[in-house]
């Protein structure tokens, strides 16, 4: 038997200075859908997520809240970040915190190696620093506003807050040494950075020349101590990026590390540079493989702006799931936004898609089919008679939807996978309208034809349950159970979803998969 292919996927680790909003949840859901798909395809899958807890931003938040950074992080992780995973049904295999001992230890192993191998030296740095980004900025990254509280000051374009001038003795990572090797990587592995827009931007950035990177701070101490100089703590990004390898055994469990690494990395496009420039340079310096790919997804926009807590446009994921449920949350963001591009969120669009696609298109199809098998065949799924062209056409669509969705997932085009699957939803609905099982049921002479029609639509639902389980796991599991699917739907090979041949009986659904929602906007909206 061939060895199972390894599929390791990681989300960025989230800053614990604040609670999650739907922008964070978006990255989580995308990674989770890909992980569930690969798990269901039998790949040796690992989904990692976690929290980024060191650095000035967290320290300042803790101080402002009269607590220590660790106590603050513990609280946010327990009260906000771990619960987020439940709210949107994330199937992560691990959750790493940069304050975990396993992480802190392995980071020092990595640092010491780079130091011993001559990739780190000490020097002095002066520059503009944005605490929001935790990054030194070039003038190009800054702006001035003509009016308002910050008029005349230099502001970070991303956070719209003033930058600070920092001057420090620092340790530096020889990143400039890696300019050519990085350009060669982008050239020889054209899908290393996706999508194309992000790739082009990164290539341009690296071509313009790379500076060495300041990787330590001595003005505060909330971080991992530099192993050979404990008056400095490690720069938070250098610390955070290492989570992707420390979590799978770098420095502690070599066998597991080799089994998992390298990973596919999903990140927002705002942090693609860290992942596609600094991170591979760090790995190259340590002689380790670079990520399989870095995919920079777009932003969720609210009112035309990147949604963010600091700009007060943040929407908590639970505001949506309390009304629509986790499945609808997951489906909506994966379907409505082309993965890789920005997308605007609106309550109107969400509720329109919920109603048209989930409640009417899919949910209703499931209820009607199950009700017809119960009514006309006492819940027993009939054996089919001879297949007509219309029945064969459904078979073809099942195969095509399966193959197209899998190919789309391979390209990380999650929205295209859903579009491919939805062709089957629409065709099954159209098939029922044309075949009119309710009319066939009136005349016993049509019994065999009715058997074939019912068999065909139940089999179509089986295919849908298998294909949709990675996206809407709760509804898919309910549907699978209702149509008598054997075992757990998540055990069904997603790449052979069309192979499902039917089960003996159906059981009525206790409630609609996607019940009608009368009031679509929560009171707070």
From 8, 12, 435, 473, residue interacting with ligand MSP (rule: CB under 6 A): 12
Query: In the numeric block, which tokens belong to residue 372?
Result: 């017809």
Which of 37, 299 has the CB closer to ligand MSP?
A: 299
- What radius of gyration do the chain's Cα atoms show? 26
Least distance to ligand MSP, CB of residue 225, Å = 19
Residue 293 annotated among the catalytic residues of the structure: no
Which of 240, 421 has the CB closer to ligand MSP?
A: 240
Query: Quick check: 109 binds ligand MSP (CB under 6 A)?
Result: no
Alpha carbons 460 and 394: distance in angstroms, whole number? 8
Least distance to ligand MSP, CB of residue 94, Å = 15
Q: Are strands 300-302 and 343-344 parallel, antiparallel or unpaired?
A: parallel
Q: Among 38, 54, 103, 133, which one carries the catalytic annotation?
A: 133
Query: Quick check: 325 binds ligand MSP (CB under 6 A)?
Result: no
Q: How many residues bind ligand MSP (CB under 6 A)?
A: 20
**Complete DSSP assignment for 192-230:** SEESHHHHHHHHHHHHT----EE-EE-S---SPEETTEE
Query: Quick check: 9 binds ligand MSP (CB under 6 A)?
Result: no
Residue number of the CB closest to ligand MSP reads 268
Query: In the numeric block, which tokens belong to residue 342?
Result: 């920005």
From 7, 8, 14, 362, residue interacting with ligand MSP (rule: CB under 6 A): 14
Which of 99, 463 has the CB closer to ligand MSP?
A: 99
Least distance to ligand MSP, CB of residue 147, Å = 26
| Chain position carrying tokens 């190259």 | 284
Least distance to ligand MSP, CB of residue 307, Å = 4
Q: Which stretch binds ligand MSP (CB under 6 A): 118-126, 300-308, 317-325, 369-377?
A: 300-308
Tell me the β-bridge partners of 123.
Answer: 170
Least distance to ligand MSP, CB of residue 148, Å = 22
Which of 27, 214 has the CB closer to ligand MSP?
A: 27
Q: Give the Cβ contact number of residue 145 at 10 Å.
A: 12
Query: Quick check: 99 binds ligand MSP (CB under 6 A)?
Result: no
From 7, 9, 23, 502, residue interacting with ligand MSP (rule: CB under 6 A): 23
Alpha carbons 74 and 80: distance in angstroms, whole number? 10
Residues 224-263 that bind ligand MSP (CB under 6 A): 240-241
Q: Which stretch binds ligand MSP (CB under 6 A): 162-170, 253-261, 304-312, 330-338?
A: 304-312
**In degrees, to the nearest 5, what angle opens at C-alpha 357 toward C-alphas 354 and 358?**
60
Query: Quick check: 24 binds ligand MSP (CB under 6 A)?
Result: yes
Q: Give the Cβ contact number of residue 40 at 10 Å.
A: 21
Q: Are strands 193-194 and 216-217 parallel, antiparallel or unpaired?
A: unpaired
3-state SS assignment for residue 24: helix
Residue 133 annotated among the catalytic residues of the structure: yes
Least distance to ligand MSP, CB of residue 90, Å = 14
From 268, 317, 462, 484, residue interacting with ligand MSP (rule: CB under 6 A): 268
Q: Give the Cβ contact number of residue 377 at 10 Å.
A: 18
Q: Which residues contact 511 (CB under 8 A, 6 or more apart)?
A: none
Residue 137 annotated among the catalytic residues of the structure: no
Query: Quick check: 270 binds ligand MSP (CB under 6 A)?
Result: yes
Q: Among 156, 269, 293, 415, which one carries the catalytic annotation?
A: 156
- Residue 286 and residue 245 in contact, taking contact as beta carbons nearer than 8 Å: no
3-state SS assignment for residue 517: coil
Residue 159 annotated among the catalytic residues of the structure: yes
Which of 191, 270 has the CB closer to ligand MSP?
A: 270
Residue 48: in which H helix or E strand, if any?
strand 44-52
Residue 297 annotated among the catalytic residues of the structure: no
In the β-sheet with 343-344, what is the strand arrangement from edge to edge?
A: 305-306, 300-302, 343-344
Query: Quick check: 384 binds ligand MSP (CB under 6 A)?
Result: no
Helices (H), 14-87: 22-40, 56-64, 69-76, 82-87
Least distance to ligand MSP, CB of residue 521, Å = 20
Residue 130 annotated among the catalytic residues of the structure: yes
**In degrees, to the nearest 5, what angle opens at C-alpha 395 toward C-alphas 394 and 397?**
65
Alpha carbons 374 and 361: distance in angstroms, whole number? 20
Query: In the numeric block, which tokens belong to residue 395?
Result: 């078979």
Which of 26, 431 has the CB closer to ligand MSP?
A: 26
Total count of residues recorded for the chain: 525
Query: Quick check: 8 binds ligand MSP (CB under 6 A)?
Result: no
Residue 103 annotated among the catalytic residues of the structure: no
Omega of the bond leading into 195 within 30 degrees of 0 (cis)? yes
Q: Which residues are catalytic, by number?
A: 21, 24, 130, 133, 156, 159, 306, 309
Q: Which residues bind ligand MSP (CB under 6 A)?
A: 12-15, 23-24, 26-27, 52, 240-241, 267-268, 270-271, 299-300, 306-308
């Amino acid at each position: 038997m061939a060895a199972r292919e390894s599929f390791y996927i990681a989300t960025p680790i989230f800053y614990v200075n604040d609670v999650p909003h739907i922008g964070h949840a978006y990255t989580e859901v995308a990674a989770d859908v890909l992980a569930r798909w690969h798990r269901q395809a039998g790949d040796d899958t690992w989904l990692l997520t976690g929290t980024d807890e060191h650095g000035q931003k967290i320290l300042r938040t803790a101080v402002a809240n009269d607590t220590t950074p660790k106590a603050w992080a513990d609280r946010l992780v327990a009260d906000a970040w771990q619960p987020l995973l439940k709210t949107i049904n994330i199937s992560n295999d691990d959750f790493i915190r940069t304050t975990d001992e396993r992480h802190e230890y392995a980071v020092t192993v990595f640092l010491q190696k780079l130091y011993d191998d001559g990739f780190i030296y000490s020097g002095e740095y002066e520059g503009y620093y944005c605490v929001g980004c935790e990054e030194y900025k070039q003038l190009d990254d800054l702006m001035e506003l003509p009016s308002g509280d910050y008029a005349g000051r230099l502001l970070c374009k991303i956070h719209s807050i003033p930058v600070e001038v920092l001057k420090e003795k620092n340790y530096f990572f020889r990143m400039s040494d890696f300019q050519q090797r990085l350009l060669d990587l982008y050239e020889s592995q054209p899908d290393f950075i996706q999508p194309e827009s992000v790739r082009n931007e990164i290539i341009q950035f690296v071509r313009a020349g790379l500076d060495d990177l300041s990787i330590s701070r001595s003005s505060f101490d909330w971080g991992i101590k530099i192993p050979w100089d404990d008056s400095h703590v490690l720069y938070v990004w250098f610390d955070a990026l290492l989570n992707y390898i420390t979590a799978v055994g770098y420095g502690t469990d070599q066998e597991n590390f080799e089994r998992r690494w390298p990973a596919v990395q999903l990140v927002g496009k705002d942090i693609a540079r860290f992942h596609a420039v600094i991170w591979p340079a760090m790995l190259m310096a340590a002689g380790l493989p670079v990520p399989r790919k870095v995919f920079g997804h777009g932003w969720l926009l609210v009112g035309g702006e990147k949604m963010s807590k600091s700009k007060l446009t943040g929407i908590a994921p639970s505001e949506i799931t309390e009304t629509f449920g986790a499945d609808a949350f997951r489906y909506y963001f994966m379907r409505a936004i082309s993965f890789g591009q920005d997308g605007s969120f609106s309550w109107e669009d969400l509720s329109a898609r919920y109603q048209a696609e989930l409640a009417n298109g899919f949910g209703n199809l499931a209820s009607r089919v199950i009700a017809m098998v119960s009514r006309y065949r006492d819940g027993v799924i009939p054996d089919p008679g001879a297949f007509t062209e219309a029945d064969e056409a459904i078979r073809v669509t099942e195969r095509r939807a399966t193959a197209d969705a899998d190919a789309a997932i391979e390209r990380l085009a999650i929205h295209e996978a859903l579009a491919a699957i939805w062709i089957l939803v629409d065709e099954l609905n159209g098939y029922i309208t044309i075949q009119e099982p309710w009319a066939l049921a009136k005349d016993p002479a049509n019994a065999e034809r009715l058997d074939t029609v019912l068999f065909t639509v139940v089999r179509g639902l089986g295919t849908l349950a298998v294909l949709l389980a990675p996206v809407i796991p709760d509804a898919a599991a309910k549907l699978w159970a209702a149509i008598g699917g054997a075992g757990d739907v998540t055990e069904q090979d997603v790449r052979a979803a069309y192979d499902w041949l039917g089960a003996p009986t159906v059981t009525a659904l206790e409630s609609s998969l996607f019940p009608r929602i009368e009031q679509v906007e929560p009171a707070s909206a």
